[in-house]
Amino acid sequence: MKSDKREPDFGNLLKVLAREVPARPTLFELFLNAPLYRKAVGPAMAARIESGPDPDLALRVQGFRALGYDYATLNLPNFRFPRAAQAHAATISLNDGGMIADRASFDRYDWPEPDAADYAALDRLSDGLPARMKLIVMGPCGVLENAVGIVGYETLCYLLLDDPALVSDLFEAIGSRLTRYYERAVRHERVGAIIANDDWGFKTQPMLTPEQMREHVVPWHRAIVATAHRAGKPAILHSCGNLESLMDDIVEDIGFDGKHSYEDAILPVEDFYERFGRRIAVLGGMDVDFLIRNPPETVAARARAMLDRAAGRGGYALGTGNSVPEYLPDEQYFAMARAAIDDL
């Protein structure tokens, strides 16, 4: 898929996260998709990977490697917050699948144990990787996203008024477990950073009021970031939605090193970079809808312009605004990525 001229070097992403200029243009994605990973590694290697241990995660790791990334993201097996079955549809209601509605259902809930996560997967997936390639550990969703998923958005809003003690216990049960999960993961020498993947907002505002976010969500993210920083490793926030009212919390209070997920309908990445790029690293940002709707030459021009904008200032890695879904045509993805890697 690519030549041997570009070997992975996580030091480039560390430079970006320190808001410095990397040695070369650097790519960033939360994840891509299985067909693209298979295309990147080739059919023979894909078949070997998919017949071995950890097939999904191993395919992702090798796909990231083949596509020119300095790292691969993964979430560790055997640690998930159980959710009720949801309808399979093009869209899913944020109220669908709630399992906790009161103290009794909270007490019955099968809370997962973070120590049961398969941390040995980090050893298996590191085997044979280039020396300077790292792994970035994600969570099984985040603090708020899991609360919404196991309670339901409307129920959570009612409980904030009707039973604030239960809401506090809910966020403590989720946040403490996620903090422990990251605490164990960052000990591994191959883990270079963590991502707290936790969608916080709608197009116009956060899902909870800023005051509610500061009471129930921000403290746990502060604990997660502190866990990474104590290990000498950076922490990245992936969160969709309009977070303008929380940017001081994200940067100054919590201390995230990088921010990912952008939409042109909220704030184009170019504008975010100008407003906040001196305070926090900017990762990705090429709006997925823009990528889908525009021809490759338009995509390539915007990607090159964004790299040029950051070339002398640093703190930027090129990528999509959210992820690379299967419905994003490969030619548009490669038009973007080749702005950073011309031999893809």
Report, as an integer, the average pLDDT of 151-161.
97
Nearest by Cα to 321 from 244, 259, 274, 255: 259
Strand partners, 238: 197, 260
- What does the radius of gyration of the chain's CA atoms come to, in whole angstroms? 20
DSSP letter assigned to residue 102 = S
pLDDT at 301: 98
- What are the chain's domains? 11-337 (3.20.20.210)
**pLDDT at 96 (0 to 100):** 73
Read off the pLDDT band of 343 (50, 70, 90): confident
Mean pLDDT of all residues in 65-86: 94
pLDDT, one tens digit per residue, over 49-61 is 999 999 999 999 9
Task: Please name the residue that has the structure tokens 């964004």.
Answer: 306
pLDDT digits (tens, 9 = 90+) for 109-150: 999 999 999 999 999 999 999 999 999 999 999 999 999 999
Average pLDDT over all residues of the chain: 95
CB 247 within 8 A of CB 214: no
Strands, DSSP E only, in 198-337? 235-238, 258-260, 281-283, 316-317
Surface-to-core class of residue 204, CB atoms within 10 Å of its CB (0-12 exposed, 13-18 middle, 19+ buried): exposed
> What pairing do the DSSP bridges indicate for beta strands 235-238 and 258-260?
parallel
Residue spans of beta strands (DSSP E) within 207-297: 235-238, 258-260, 281-283
Whole-angstrom distance, CA of residue 288 vs CA of residue 262: 9
**Distance (Å, whole) CA 158 – CA 174:** 19
Residue for token digits 């800023």? Answer: 210
The span from the CA of 327 to the CA of 333, in Å, is 11
- 8 Å CB contact between 297 and 335: yes
